Amino acid sequence: MFGVHDVLMTGICFCKFHFRIFESSLLISRIIFAMNENLKLRRMAEAKLPTEFGHCLIVGFEEISSGRDHIALVYGDITTPDPVLSRIHSECLTGDTLFSLKCDCGHQLGATLSQIGQEGRGVLLYHRQEGRGIGLVNKIRAYALQDKGLDTVEANLQLGFKPDERDFTLCADMYKLLGVRAVRLITNNPLKVDILKKAGINVVERVPIEVGRNGNNDRYLKVKAEKLGHLFKNCNEK
Which residues in this chain contact ligand GTP in the complex, by CB under 6 A?
90-92, 103, 105, 108, 130-132, 134, 139, 142, 152, 156, 187-189, 224, 230
Whether 218 and 118 have beta carbons less than 8 Å apart is answered as: no
The one catalytic residue among 96, 104, 151, 164: 164
164 is catalytic: yes
Q: How far apart are CA 212 and CA 101, in angstroms?
A: 8
Least distance from ligand GTP to the Cβ atom of residue 214, Å: 14
Q: How far apart are CA 193 and CA 53, in angstroms?
A: 25
Closest CA to 166 of 204, 195, 207: 195
Least distance from ligand GTP to the Cβ atom of residue 166, Å: 7
Least distance from ligand GTP to the Cβ atom of residue 177, Å: 21
Q: Is beta strand 84-90 parallel, antiparallel or unpaired with respect to 41-51?
A: unpaired
141 is catalytic: no
Least distance from ligand GTP to the Cβ atom of residue 130, Å: 5
The one catalytic residue among 77, 166, 184, 206: 166
Q: List own/partner pairs for 74-78 with CB under 8 A and 24 or more apart.
A: 74/123, 74/178, 75/116, 75/117, 75/119, 75/120, 75/121, 75/122, 75/123, 76/119, 76/120, 76/121, 76/122, 77/121, 78/121, 78/122, 78/123, 78/178, 78/179, 78/180
Residue 43 or 141: the one with the smaller Cβ distance to ligand GTP is 141
Residue 16 or 198: the one with the smaller Cβ distance to ligand GTP is 198
Least distance from ligand GTP to the Cβ atom of residue 108, Å: 5
Q: Which residues are catalytic?
A: 164, 166
